[in-house]
Structure 1
């Protein structure tokens, strides 16, 4: 009788563990797909605008210089912790983009490159 009780308790614990594991996997799956959907919506909103960041250069911890295209014109702006300042208008023909450097890519493209490298380096099961 005690053997049956111990066996029943073990099976109950295993069933409870498997149930929790399945629920955890379902929650992780729902989270993953909702983040993908929200990310795609945000990506579409960013891609439709007339403002595009062409290049960003860090000057110090909280100061950056960016070249921004608004419509068909390009501008250099300084971004500080609490302010954004107009520096000058830039002729797009004068700009040189280094395609080998990840600095000239937008933040989203750089992040995508890092994620792709991580996926390639990840060992297959």
Structure 2
């Protein structure tokens, strides 16, 4: 939790400053009390997810960046990558019909079928281990 607070506090403050906003301006835009915001920025408390999302949207950064999951504050996903975030069932052809790329190379149908088979194998082994 301390590591999370470190990222919340440092990155929320950094994002606010880069957005050119004072704590009072953030309060005006979001309704979040500036004392509460100060608590987030000074490692006193952490925002809930809805509040975090609200702040990230205002600042133009991703929640992943604020959480420390990435060092890229902005989403650079392509439309295809955004579509791929949706849940894909491995038991039907929706996985095969989608376009997926690995290191910039689009997978062929045969490669996607191999990935699908490997995922099924790994998941079945995982289920047997339980």
Normalising TM by the smaller chain, what interval?
Answer: under 0.3
Q: Which has the higher contact order (CA 8 A, sep 6+)?
A: 2
Higher strand proportion (structure 1 or 2): 1
TM-score normalised over the length of structure 2: 0.22
The structure with more radius of gyration:
1
